[in-house]
Amino acid sequence: MPDDALQRAAASVDRAPWLAPWREALAALAPLTHADRIAWLDAQAATRDLRNATGQRLVFAPADDAGGAAYEAHIHASGRIPTRAADRDSAHDLFNALVWLRFPAAKAQLNACQAAVLAADGVRATRGPARDAATLIDENALLLACRDSAVVREVDAMLAAHDWNALLRDARGRARWHADIVPHAFGHALLDKLLRPYKAITAHARVVHVPNGHDAAQVDAALAAWLATAPVSPRALRPLPVLGIPGWWGANEAADFYADSAVFRPQRHAG
Q: Where are the domains of the chain?
A: 5-121, 129-259
Nearest residue to 60 via CA among 39, 85, 30, 86: 39
pLDDT of residue 271: 44
At 131 the pLDDT is 76
> What is the per-residue pLDDT for 117?
84
CA distance 129 to 112: 15
Q: What is the dihedral of CA 9, 12, 17, 21, to 10 degrees?
A: 50
Q: How do the pLDDT tens digits run along the chain, 271 residues long?
A: 468 999 999 999 999 999 999 999 999 999 999 999 999 999 999 999 999 999 999 999 999 999 989 999 999 999 999 999 999 999 999 999 999 999 999 999 999 998 988 887 655 545 567 778 899 999 999 999 999 999 999 999 999 999 999 999 999 999 999 999 999 999 999 999 999 999 999 999 999 999 999 999 999 999 999 999 877 888 899 999 999 999 999 999 998 999 999 999 998 764 4
257 and 227 in contact (C-beta within 8 Å)? no
Length of the chain in terms of residues written: 271
Residue 83, burial from CB neighbour count under 10 angstroms (0-12, 13-18, 19+): buried
Return the half-sphere exposure (C-beta side, CA atoms, 13 A cut-off) of residue 104.
19
| 8 A C-beta contact, residue 3 and residue 88 | yes
Nearest-Å Rg of the Cα atoms of the chain is 19
Q: What separation in angstroms does the CA of 59 have from each of 11, 167, 176, 206, 207? A: 27, 40, 39, 28, 30
| Alpha carbon distance 106, 225 (integer Å) | 8
Q: What is the pLDDT of residue 270?
A: 47
Measured CA to CA, the distance from residue 120 to residue 36 in angstroms comes to 37
Q: Which of helix, strand or coil describes residue 181?
A: strand
Locate all alpha helices (DSSP H) within 127-215, ordered by sequence: 129-140, 149-160, 164, 171-176, 188-193
